A and B are shown apart, each in its own frame.
Chain A
Amino acid sequence: MNTNIEITDKIIIEPKLELPTRDTGATVEFRGIVRETEDENCIQGLDYEAYKDMAIAKMTTILSDLLVKHDCLTGVVIHRVGFIPVGESALYMRITSSHRKEAFSCCSEFIDELKKDVPIWKAN
């Protein structure tokens, strides 16, 4: 499998980097972190909830399609749910590819798609 998708209610443990091939030339990582200000209010953290099975299925489809579209090698996505304190990651993702441009594009487009179609919600 080129994709590894997970939803967890625990602090995100970033998996050890394993290069899929000797032709791997780039890894791009993204962390979505809970910030202290939300809608101009000072918060302690955010509560995330997910329609878990559908969210995993949607993320798998989106990521699989984007890996092909951007000619990338592998993708890891871990989304945390439950209460997440300020300063901790709600989302971790990592894309590997032969060249940096493809990995950046894939990572960026995945986040855009996630924010449109993946059934995960936050509330403060």
Chain B
Amino acid sequence: MNTSTVTLKDFYISSDHDFRGQHGKPRNNNAIEKLHKIECVEGKGIIGDRYFKQEEEASKRQITFFDLAIFQELKKNYPDSNFDSSVFRRNIVIEGIDLNSLINHFFTIANVQFYGVEECSPCYWMDQAVGPGAEDLMQGKGGLRCKIVTGGKLTTGIAELTQIDSNESYPLKVYAFSSSAKELGFKETTIMAKPNLSPIEVLSQIETFTVDQSQKYRIAINESFSSWTDQIGHVKEIAIIPPVSGG
């Protein structure tokens, strides 16, 4: 585990898209809201934000980060342009970490766990939002797209950012119900997991588990439906969910 102190400067959400899907058309000018507190929901996004998803298959755009240092660099390069850190439409403006170093890594900020998916590359709209040439200046520094592995609330201010070792084993609770419990032969057990393994890979160490079960059952990670094939991260529990029949 590698810990750094960072500052969460500003949070932004917007209920709908502004640039996305507007190629060849004017931007939508959907208002962006500045917040001091946000609630991150695992596998979905930030409550109230346009990328908040209800689908099971986790989007890679659940939350985005932007480095305050890049904003400051752009302000120096465009002294006559009147813009603030909201124009990039990234969700969290952060200071104190190289965001590209978090790509393909799990990390936590104040108990909220993220997985760094990829750079949030700048697009040509940045030339309009900041000034001509801004897209080029931002190449390789456009921010970070993340998945939310474990949800929770974040508040602006100083926080600890901890990078998780993807290869480090940890104990994981596994629950099975109804027909999955009958097939697996347990309702609850604990196995060793690694953050960089998928649920299929983690469960493969159980003798009674077969890949076929991933076709007929759903998987829940920390009580949210999730993907059988994405890396699980450092989580509390997983559950194998047969077709439900309540009511």
A-side residues, CB < 8 A to B, are: 32, 48-51, 53-55, 57, 79, 90-91, 111, 114-123
Closest CB-CB distance, B227 to chain A, in whole Å? Answer: 16
Residue pair A54, B177 in contact (C-beta under 8 Å): no
- If the complex has contacts A119-B177, A119-B241, A123-B178, are A50 and B246 also in contact, measured as CB distance less than 8 A? yes
Contact pick for B246, options A53, A57, A91, CB 8 Å = A91
Contact A51 B246 (CB under 8 A): no
- Interface size band for B: 10 to 19
State whether B177 touches A115 (Cβ < 8 A). Answer: no
Known A49-B177, A51-B175; contact A119-B244, beta-carbon cutoff 8 A: yes
B215 at interface, CB cutoff 8 A: no
Bound-state Cα–Cα, A120 to B241, Å: 9
Going nearest first, the 8 A-B pairs with the smallest beta carbon separation are A120-B246, A54-B223, A121-B178, A32-B247, A122-B245, A91-B247, A121-B245, A114-B247
Check A54–B246 contact: CB distance below 8 A.
no
On chain A, the residues within 8 Å of B242 by CB distance are 121
Does the CB pair A111–B247 fall under 8 Å?
Answer: yes
Known contacts: A51-B223, A51-B239. The answer to whether A118 contacts B246 by CB under 8 A is: yes
Extra contacts besides A51-B175, A118-B246 (14): CB < 8 Å: A48-B246, A49-B178, A51-B239, A57-B223, A90-B246, A114-B244, A117-B244, A118-B244, A119-B246, A120-B246, A121-B242, A121-B245, A122-B245, A123-B178
Residues of B within 8 A of A57 (CB): 223
In angstroms, Cα B193 to Cα A14, docked, is 43
Shortest Cβ distance from A50 into B: residue: B246
Hey, which chain A residues are within 8 Å of B245, CB to CB? 115, 120-122
Chain A's closest residue to B181 (CB) is: A49
- Distance of A91 Cα from B245 Cα, bound (Å): 12
Instruction: A121 to B247: give the CA distance in the assembly, Å.
Output: 9
> Is residue B99 within 8 Å, beta carbon to beta carbon, of the partner chain?
no
Interface string of B159-193 (1 = CB under 8 A from A): 00000000000000001011000000000000000
Q: Is the CB of A119 within 8 A of B247?
A: no
A38 to B129, CA, bound (A): 63
Supposing A51-B220, A51-B241, A54-B220 touch, asked if A115 and B178 sit within 8 A by C-beta, the answer is: no
Expressed in whole angstroms, the Cα–Cα distance for A80 and B33 within the complex equals 42
Q: List 23 A-B contacts (CB under 8 A).
A: A49-B178, A51-B220, A54-B224, A55-B246, A57-B223, A90-B247, A111-B247, A114-B246, A115-B244, A115-B245, A115-B247, A118-B244, A119-B220, A119-B239, A119-B241, A119-B244, A119-B246, A120-B245, A120-B247, A121-B177, A122-B245, A122-B246, A123-B178
